[in-house]
Chains A and B, each alone.
Chain A
Amino acid sequence: MSEQFDYKKDFVVFILSYGRSRNIKTKYLLDKNNYTGDYYIICSKDDKSLDDYKKLYNNVIIFDKNDYIDKTDTIDNLNETKIVVYARNAVYDIAKNLNKKYFLVLDDDYDTLDYRFPFKIERPQGKKILYENNLDYLFKKTLEFFINIDFDIIAYAQRGDLIGGKGFYDRVYQKRKIMNSFFCRTDRRIWFKGTSNEDVNTYLYYGQRGYKFLTIPYVIIKQEITQKQSGGLTDFYKNYGTYVKSFYSIIINPIAVKLDLMGNKYKRIHHKINWDLAVPYIISDKYKK
């Protein structure tokens, strides 16, 4: 049986925010769905709107990117600082300082959580949304699952993951992404990598080495369309173009990652992962002699 956990004592949610002090959609998402656990807004020292954050919220934790610049592999020499990878690496230390065993890392622009199954289900009256009035239930069950399976990081799906149909639901053994929402263990540090595409770079780098990640396909996290908001990573995309991020993942794994064209009407360059070449398969122990 897996380790015991105390939801209130051992778990915390972090919202990574940068330059959006007055537009933290994720905070609203947690509040309106009666999340009762601890959560903190994580800001970096170089954020010009830091005073505004402090004025508006009493649960802001500030970290210094300089503490992580030397420790983080950005996979380039651009010396870009307005990037999220430092915060992703800082939260492990923040959780440790807070004496938390597990934490969930969210970006600041999530509108909704929803669910979707590969089979038709009837949504009973009064339960239109999975987490309605009880986000705690969803988080507790997710944590229970996370702890029992003993993985390094697990995540909820994002809207785009489900395009392409049922395959995403029944191929957890093969497609082991983590994006947008990260359930992490304080005692198993993962160093996120790359100025851009840090989530993809990280699951490819560690995944190939046998670290265990997966996405829960039933729970979907939705956010505003990237590159339309101000703040966050928008400046990086403006400076370098969105296509540049794919190259970071190619550098991490030149065998499994290739460039591809995505989209129906307007094509754009994006990375494409050949999962058979990316991470070891998970197989049942009944095949073990």
Chain B
Amino acid sequence: MEIEQKIVNIKEIKENKDNPRKISKSQLERLKLSLQKFPEMLSIREIVVDENMVILGGNMRYRALKELGEKTVPVKIIKGLSDEQKKEFIIKDNNIYGEWDVDILQTWDIDLLKDWDIDDKYINKINDNKYVNINKVLVNTYHPDKIVNINDCINTEKYDYLCKKINQMNISEDIRRFLLLSATRFIEFNYKNIANYYASSSKEVQNMIEELLLVIIDVNDILQNNYLKFTKDILKRLGVNYE
């Protein structure tokens, strides 16, 4: 048996007239939509044809692509199969062994699953499933995720402008001092950036950032753990199972 992969003109391949699989008009429309949304799928899983360019696997995708007006299509050409082997392939290619694991699926985005046309019976099972994966939604301390420059932690534009104005005034020094201190109210601290900066700082700088209360450290993950415990207590009271 020889296998060859290439991109061919869609007119070169032929639908298998003896294909026992059927597709309804609405299913075909959904397949067309699915192919439009994720065209890369075709390159990952090509249409399988024999040496005569007759389709062994992918008849429905071929029809959908033809209706979509596609000119070329990636194919896998299989040479040397007997007629019986070709029939066996057609059947086995379309058999679905196994079931989807609903406990895992429910941690995925249900809207995307619907969008990807997973069988409705699984969507119903997900909705019916009493198990709730709460760990996934209960991350309640911030996890720094980017490198930040110290200048991104503070914005003194307005403060500088006000100071300049105050310094140009003909006033006593005690009033100037008061006004200059008042202008500090317009210094902008970006606490998100500070949290990110903290993560990559030296130990000495980290200690001072903590002392200045520019971040709050969840020591031993006390907040995180208790938040989870509280939520579990409430769910337990409600009779909801959770993971």
Residues of chain A having any CB pair with chain B under 8 Å: 115, 117-124, 127, 130, 137-138, 141-142, 144-145, 148-150, 166, 169-174, 209-210, 212, 216, 218-219, 254-255, 276-285, 287-289
A191 to chain B, nearest CB (A): 18
**Can you name 22 A-B pairs with beta carbons within 8 Å?**
A117-B235, A121-B130, A122-B128, A122-B240, A130-B234, A141-B230, A142-B230, A149-B227, A170-B137, A170-B140, A173-B141, A209-B213, A277-B191, A281-B191, A281-B215, A283-B141, A283-B144, A283-B215, A284-B141, A284-B221, A284-B224, A285-B219
Does the CB pair B198–A283 fall under 8 Å? yes
Whether A289 touches B141, Cβ cut-off 8 Å, given contacts A212-B216, A284-B224, is no
Complex Cα distance, B210 from A289, in Å, reads: 12
Given the complex, which residues of B lie within 8 Å of A276, measured CB to CB? 190-193
Q: At the interface, yes or no: B104 with Cβ under 8 Å from chain A?
A: no
Does the CB pair A145–B229 fall under 8 Å? yes
A-B CB proximity, top 4 nearest: A210-B213, A124-B239, A281-B195, A145-B230
Residues of chain B having any CB pair with chain A under 8 Å: 127-128, 130, 132-134, 137-144, 185-195, 198-199, 201-203, 206, 213-224, 226-227, 229-231, 233-235, 237-240
Does the CB pair B189–A277 fall under 8 Å? yes
A contacts with B: majority SS: loop
Does the CB pair B186–A255 fall under 8 Å? yes
Does the CB pair B215–A130 fall under 8 Å? no
Complex Cα distance, B65 from A110, in Å, reads: 59
Does the CB pair A283–B216 fall under 8 Å? yes
Given the complex, which residues of A lie within 8 Å of B132, measured CB to CB? 117, 119, 121
Does the CB pair A280–B231 fall under 8 Å? no
Given the complex, which residues of A lie within 8 Å of B128, measured CB to CB? 122
Does the CB pair A123–B237 fall under 8 Å? no
Does the CB pair B137–A173 fall under 8 Å? no
Does the CB pair A254–B216 fall under 8 Å? no
Shortest Cβ distance from A150 into B: residue: B222
Whether A141 touches B233, Cβ cut-off 8 Å, given contacts A277-B190, A281-B195, A283-B215, is yes
Q: Which of A141, A171, A255, A287 contacts B234 (CB 8 A)?
A: A141
Q: Which of B188, B221, B235, B239 contacts A285 (CB 8 A)?
A: B221
Does the CB pair B235–A121 fall under 8 Å? yes
Given the complex, which residues of B lie within 8 Å of A277, measured CB to CB? 188-191
